[in-house]
């Protein structure tokens, strides 16, 4: 059983640029959630995708957007990067409709905005 993978591991971008982060969900999972974890903080929910549709969104501006593909992998896109976007971005996959309520996290992508 393949776990959740994320790429790249680390990324350095300049303020104003755009970035795309990628996530492959665990085998058999149909739902992907994205979280932002600032240094010294708990993860904050960005949004969730289920069957290629956004299925809930946290308190993040529209410049944070996402996609989910037919194979359930996902992308997180951030436009017009700001210094405060520097964080660890975590992807989690789960199987909706099973009442397991478990989310399995990837290792994260560390984004630094300078």
Partner 1 sequence: AQSVTQLGSHVSVSEGALVLLRCNYSSSVPPYLFWYVQYPNQGLQLLLKYTSAATLVKGINGFEAEFKKSETSFHLTKPSAHMSDAAEYFCAVSPGKSDKLIFGTGTRLQVFP
Q: Which helix (H) or strand (E) holds 12?
A: strand 10-13
Q: Per CB under 8 A, does 58 bind partner 1?
A: yes
Radius of gyration of the chain (CA): 13
Residue 55 interacts with partner 1 (CB under 8 A): yes or no: yes
Look-up: residue for tokens 């994260």?
108
> In the complex, what is the shortest distance from the CB of residue 20 to partner 1, in angstroms, rounded to a whole number?
19
Window 32 to 51, contacts with partner 1 (CB under 8 A): 33, 35, 40-45, 48
Size of the site for partner 1 (CB under 8 A): 27
Q: How far apart are CA 66 and CA 74, in angstroms?
A: 7
Per-residue binder mask for partner 1 (CB under 8 A), 67-106, x = binder: -----------------------x-x-x-x--x-xxxxxx
Query: Closest Cα partner for 71 from 55, 86, 93, 99?
Result: 93
Residue 53 binding partner 1, by CB under 8 A? no
């Amino acid at each position: 059983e393949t776990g959740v993978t994320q790429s790249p591991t680390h990324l350095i971008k300049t303020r104003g640029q755009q970035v795309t982060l990628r996530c492959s969900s665990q085998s058999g999972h149909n739902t992907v959630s994205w979280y932002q974890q600032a240094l010294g903080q708990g993860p904050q929910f960005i949004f969730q995708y289920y069957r290629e549709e956004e299925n809930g969104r946290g308190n993040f501006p529209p410049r944070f957007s996402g996609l989910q593909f037919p194979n359930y992998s996902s992308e997180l896109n951030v436009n017009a990067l700001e210094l405060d976007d520097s964080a660890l971005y975590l992807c989690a996959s789960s199987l909706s409709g099973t009442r397991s309520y478990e989310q399995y996290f990837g290792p994260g992508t560390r984004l630094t905005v300078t």
